Structure formats: structure tokens, C-alpha cells
A and B are shown apart, each in its own frame.
Chain A
Amino acid sequence: KAGVTQTPRYLIKTRGQQVTLSCSPISGHRSVSWYQQTPGQGLQFLFEYFSETQRNKGNFPGRFSGRQFSNSRSEMNVSTLELGDSALYLCASSLVGGGRGKMGRTEAFFGQGTRLTVV
């Protein structure tokens, strides 16, 4: 079965612009989580969506937002881009995912990531 698909794979944006990234989870998976990876901070949790509802949120400013559609596909949006937003953005899908203390009990499948460069 198809894996997790992230689009686009690479993106170059100018400071101040906004960007939307897409993640299509494995068929049947209802949870999608987003992560930011930078050389300095490593992997950091952004947020998790389950059945179109944001269930968990990491410690990122409000410029970072997301949503999930009824088919479980998810998008994340970053507004007013800053140079420090340059990173690899990864999404992961799982059957159940987190929330209510259950996160971590189901295997997560990661996409290849979107490498965002802000210039």
C-alpha cells in the first residue's frame, strides 16, 4: 500500500511570504503529525491532527498552523516566513496516533519530508 506522501519535496520562499505544505497519510490512518527538523534544534513536534481536529500542539508560534480534511489529508501553513523557518518538515501518519495519553502506542510512518528554504 502507498506510503505517506508529502508535497512538494523542495520549496524556496522569500522572507515574509507564506507557504502551504501537504501530507497524504497512509490509507486508513486518521492521525497526522507534523515535525520540524533543523540542524540546531533537531526534530521538534509541531502539531497532530485526528479526524479533522487538532489534538496536540507543540511550542511553536501562531504563524504555524494546520488543518486536516475529511479524507485525512493534512496541510500545514506557515505565514510571514522567517529565515529561521528554513527546515525539513516531516509528517507522520498512524492509525490512532496521540491524544488522551494514547500517543506513541501505534507505529508512525513518516513521509520523505519537504525541505523549505527561506531566503
Chain B
Amino acid sequence: KNEVEQSPQNLTAQEGEFITINCSYSVGISALHWLQQHPGGGIVSLFMLSSGKKKHGRLIATINIQEKHSSLHITASHPRDSAVYICAAGNQFYFGTGTSLTVIP
């Protein structure tokens, strides 16, 4: 069993749609991270959260510590949001397998 499970693995959306990516983890954490990886490899840290909810522009991340579950939401999706989104949890950064998002104009 993986320490971090992400769903869905692949997601295709029309521009403007509301998107949700889910992450469940089994390890103890001090914080959970959402990462974005564009083609070419570079990774950007989107959120680090240990409770509640955070919002950056059209991106919202929530976490429920008791249920060991986090979600990443993208409102009004745009083609430039097309990337792989990865959640990372645990003291040594256990990673989810990533969600490949494609937003079609």
C-alpha cells in the first residue's frame, strides 16, 4: 500500500471548469505539500498546509487532518494550468503518483 494515494491519475477538463484533485495519506505529517510539475521537469511548490484551507488566486487547498485527506481545487481552469499535480506528505516527503491535468481551450 502506498503511503500517499492520489486521484484521479489523469484529468481532462474544458477551460473554465472547476477541478478537484484528491490526496489521501497514511503517514504522520507535520504538513502536506501540493506541487506542480510542468513538462520539462521543474517543480513548483503550490501550497504547504497543516490545517484548514489556503487560497492562492484560483487555487484552493484544503486538508482534514483527522481523515488524513487533502484536496486541491482549481476554479475557472485555464490551459496554462495543464501540468502534473503532486501531493507530498510525511517527514521524508512521500509522494503521490501525480495527477496529469489537461485543460482544453
Interface, chain A (partner B; CB < 8 A): 33, 35, 37, 42-45, 48, 56, 58, 88, 90, 92, 98, 101-113, 115
Contacts and interface: CB of A to CB of B under 8 A. Distances in A.
Interface of B: 29-33, 35, 40-45, 48, 50, 86, 88-98
B42 A104 contact: no
Given A103-B30, A104-B90, A108-B33, A113 B95 contact: no
Contacts of B41: 37, 88, 90, 112-113, 115
Nearest to A35: B93
B23 to A, nearest CB: 13
Contact of B43 (A58, A107, A110): A110
A39 to B, nearest CB: 11
Nearest to A88: B41
A107 B40 contact: no
A21 to B, nearest CB: 13
Contacts of B42: 110-113
A42 B30 contact: no
A107 B98 contact: no
B92 A101 contact: no
A105 B92 contact: no
Contact of B91 (A35, A103, A109, A111): A103
13 contacts: A43-B98, A44-B95, A45-B93, A101-B30, A103-B30, A103-B92, A104-B29, A104-B30, A105-B48, A108-B48, A112-B42, A113-B41, A113-B42
